Chain A
Amino acid sequence: MEVIKANAVCKTFSRPLASTQTGVIAAIKQFVAPPKENINVIDNVSLSVQQGEFVGLLGANGSGKSTLLKLLTGILQPDAGSLTVLGHHPSKERKAYTKKIGAVFGQKSLLWWNVAIIESFRLYASIYKLSRQDSERRIEQLSELLGLRDLLSSPPKKLSLGQRMKAEVVASLLHQPQLIFLDEPTIAMDPVSRLNLMNFLLQLNRDEGTSIVLTSHNMADVHHYCQRSVIMEQGAVLFDGKTSDILSLEHGKVLEIKTCSALDSQLLSEFEYELIEDNHYRIKTSTELAKEALSRLAFHPNVKDVNLSPPSLDHAIHHFMTAARNTL
């Protein structure tokens, strides 16, 4: 069953332009009619997500990930194209639609700043028309899972960013939504909490068939949890497929070498390399040349540690996007 169906969706924002002219007349012109330009924040995006998919939305800052999520949640309305989510038009059938979704925006708080977080949870439970019993049970279950139980009477202003994020997640998942949108949900979370949250999402995805769309700059999260990735650049979809396919786009190996002192640059000249820190080199090589690079560098007397691995998702995406930008 298709839960998200976006067809040629576009969204344009106008952005003020800095005046290139100086002087009083230019300043008056700038004040009366400030020059603006229209930018396509979402440019002809088509997307289809099936029920039970766990999709990672990736891309550089300003690539349109959050705007796409806001269109999908009904916060923004598309300028062109058609959008159907769970059988609804998100912004036109808001009330019926939003009962079925959960949305967490890492940079926008749902909580009342000065009041105990449990009060905010109770407000959202009443918005979703949960019975008192159900809401208390759900608050307890989620708080326990995310380690918030002792913090329920604390206001968000007294919490760390990571703890606040957990509270945002609890507030958004109280009503057991069919589809969850998360915009950078693990921002500022400690590794244990991050894993707890991601495992919890995975459990929802596997056991209850909840569809999940998340944006994240944490490639480890995407790599381990999202079966499918969508890479965006300048408002357009550059890649849409299995996360493992991104890795296969990046052929070759990464050889990391730690040395006692700087290596002779002549020795490295044949390879594509970068100096990560003093005496720590990362060499990118093709699979075919990896053996030769290893034999030539690993046994050098100056080398104290060697690690040969496939490229990470970060590298694969970086490589993929650099290539895509060059062809744009």
Chain B
Amino acid sequence: MNSMVFIRFLQLSLKDLSVFRSDFIISIIHILIYQGIFILFWDALLRQLDSPLGEWDKGSLALLILVGLIFSSIRMLFFGFTTMSSKVINGELDKYLCRPVSPLLALLAEDTKIWAAGHSLLTCSILFFFMDQVYDYQFTTLSFVYFSISILVGSLTLVLMEGCIALSAFWFGNVDRLFYLINSFGDFQRYPITLFPKLLQHFLIYVLPIGLVSSIPVMFLVGMYDEPASMLIIQGVILLFWLCGFVWLWRCALRRYDSLGG
């Protein structure tokens, strides 16, 4: 998909949203309130915390909460995965399957919530600098590089996993409940995974890689990891696994697609 087409999709997406202006404004207020309460809650909690939680001091806990917003914003760019099952059920792939455009990218571009993604990222950036005054983060340039790679790879991994769930709609029809089920594990994104038993830690890294979008990157950033390079390689392997799975599923899904009756 060329950039012009993507820009057209974004324009249409924004125009579509702005048709119902009051709803659009309320949705922005909703995000502000939701994120405001979220930050207030954690800030209040952290202020009451006298001693560190295991290896996690106040600063790293604050970072953990902020980093969660980065994944939230990346996820908004791939919001099309969450709406894919209804589109598959309603045969909405037809219009892109007979056009010279990638049907997958077109479906994702159609539902990209770029404003929500930008909003989350902006909130995260503002808070990052604001909270730096309170908690005084300590990290090096190298640890920031590790962190950046890790959060990017982790987010792509989790997005691809969600993509695989979305593609299962070609076989099972409605998979919204499966999304809800996976999302119910989403709270682990805000908690330091090293506080949990080893088995659960492994589950949250290798099976349901929620730990890869918050705890692990923050551990890189604050220097909790002795050998970050080896963990990055593991992250790369996990990403490759989900990428291969996604590509394979997409090819099978197109063969499986049966559109709607005429």
A129 touches B91 (CB 8 A): no
Return chain B residues, CB-CB under 8 Å to A94. 97, 100
- Apart from A69-B262, A75-B93, list 13 A-B contacts with CB within 8 A: A62-B261, A65-B262, A70-B262, A74-B97, A95-B100, A101-B98, A108-B260, A114-B16, A123-B12, A126-B2, A127-B100, A128-B99, A155-B19
Given A67-B262, A74-B98, A99-B100, A129-B16 contact (CB < 8 Å):
no
Return chain A residues, CB-CB under 8 Å to B30.
Answer: none
B9 within 8 A of A: yes
A114:B97 contact, CB within 8 angstroms = no
Known: A77-B254, A101-B98, A114-B19. A126 touches B262 (CB 8 A): no
Does B4 belong to the interface (CB within 8 Å)?
Answer: yes
Q: When each residue 66-84 of chain A gets 1 if its CB lies under 8 Å from chain B and 0 otherwise, what string results?
A: 1101100111110000000
Going nearest first, the 6 A-B pairs with the smallest beta carbon separation are A66-B262, A73-B98, A114-B19, A103-B98, A75-B97, A123-B8
A105 near B12: Cβ-Cβ < 8 Å: no
Name the distance in Å between B134's Cβ and chain A's nearest Cβ.
Answer: 44
Interface residue? A122 (CB, 8 A): yes
Among B5, B15, B98, B101, the residue within 8 A (CB) of A75 is B98
Judge if A271 is at the interface, Cβ distance under 8 Å. no
- Could you say which residues of chain B place their CB within 8 Å of the CB of A103? 98
Query: Would you give 18 A-B contacts (Cβ < 8 Å), ordered by A?
Result: A62-B261, A65-B262, A66-B261, A70-B259, A74-B98, A95-B100, A96-B100, A98-B98, A98-B100, A103-B98, A105-B262, A110-B95, A114-B16, A115-B19, A116-B15, A126-B2, A127-B5, A127-B99
Residue of A nearest to B1 (CB): A127
B132 at the interface (CB under 8 A from A): no
Residues of A at the B interface (CB closer than 8 Å) are 13, 62, 65-67, 69-70, 73-77, 91, 94-96, 98-99, 101, 103, 105, 107-110, 112, 114-116, 119-120, 122-124, 126-129, 155, 183, 215
Instruction: Kindly list chain B residues whose C-beta atoms are within 8 Å of the C-beta of A127.
Output: 5, 99-101
State the CA gap A109–B94 with chains docked (Å): 9
Q: Which of A62, A74, A75, A115 contacts B12 (CB 8 A)?
A: A115
Provide the residues of chain A in CB contact with B9, threshold 8 Å: 123
Q: Is B257 engaged at the interface, CB distance under 8 Å to the other chain?
A: yes
Are A126 and B8 closer than 8 Å at their CB atoms?
yes
Closest beta carbon of chain B to A241's beta carbon, Å? 23
Given contacts A75-B97, A105-B94, A110-B95, contact A122 B259 (CB under 8 A): no
* Interface residues as binary, B66-93 with A (CB distance below 8 Å gives 1, 0 otherwise): 0000000000000000000000000111
Min CB distance, A215 to chain B, in Å?
8
Chain B residue numbers with a CB within 8 Å of A112 are: 12, 15-16
User: Which residue of chain B has the shortest Cβ distance to A184 in the bound complex?
Assistant: B262
CB contacts (< 8 Å) of B15 on chain A: these are 112, 114-116, 119
**Given A115-B16, A123-B5, A127-B5, do A13 and B258 touch, yes or no (CB 8 Å)?**
yes
Interface string of B1-35 (1 = CB under 8 A from A): 01011001101100110011000000000000000
What's the nearest-Cβ distance from chain A to residue B109, in Å?
10
Q: Mark B238-262, 1 if CB is under 8 A from A, else 0.
A: 0000000000000000110111111
Chain A residues near B258 (CB, 8 Å)?
13, 76
A77 touching B255, Cβ below 8 Å: yes
* Total A-B Cβ pairs within 8 A: 83
Q: Determine which residue in A65, A74, A112, A183 has the highest number of CB atoms from chain B within 10 A of its CB, and name it.
A: A112
Q: Quick check: A98 and B99 within 8 Å, CB to CB?
A: yes
Task: For residue B99, give the distance in angstroms from its CB to the closest CB of chain A.
Answer: 5
The smallest C-beta distance from B185 to any residue of chain A, in angstroms, reads: 27
- A65's nearest neighbour on chain B, judged by CB, is B262
Report Cα–Cα, A15/B260, bound state, in Å. Answer: 13
Chain A residues with CB under 8 Å of B5's CB are 123, 126-127
Residues of A within 8 A of B95 (CB): 108-110
B121 → chain A closest CB, angstroms: 26
A105 to B261: give the CA distance in the assembly, Å. Answer: 11
- With the chains together, A76 CA to B97 CA distance in Å? 9
The chain A residue with its CB closest to the CB of B14 is A115
**A126 contacts across to B, CB distance below 8 A:** 2, 4-5, 8
Query: For residue A155, which residues in chain B have a CB less than 8 angstroms away from its CB?
Result: 19
Q: Residue of B at shortest CB range from A129?
A: B2
Give bound CA distance, A105 to B95, whole Å: 9
Q: How far, in whole Å, are A91 and B254 apart by their CA atoms in the complex?
A: 9
A73 partner residues in chain B, CB cutoff 8 A: 97-98
* Chain A residues whose CB sits within 8 angstroms of the CB of B12 once the complex forms: 112, 115, 119-120, 123
B94 pairs with A108, CB closer than 8 A:
yes
Contacting residues, chain A, for B2 (C-beta < 8 A): 126, 129
In the complex, which residue of chain B has the Cβ closest to the Cβ of A109? B95
Q: B98 contacts which chain A residues (CB < 8 A)? A: 73-75, 98, 101, 103
B259 touches A75 (CB 8 A): yes
Contacts known (A76-B257, A123-B12, A126-B5); A107 close to B100, Cβ less than 8 A: no
Residues of A within 8 Å of B255, CB to CB, are 77
List, in ascending order, chain A residues with CB within 8 A of B97's CB. 73-75, 94
Cα-based distance from A124 to B4 in the complex (angstroms): 11
B4 neighbours in A (Cβ, 8 Å): 126
The CA-CA distance from A310 to B17 in the complex, in Å, is: 57
Among A107, A109, A110, A129, point to the contact of B262 (Cβ < 8 A): A107
Residue of chain A at shortest CB distance from B256: A77
B259 adjacent to A76 (CB under 8 Å): yes
Residue of A whose beta carbon sits closest to that of B5: A126
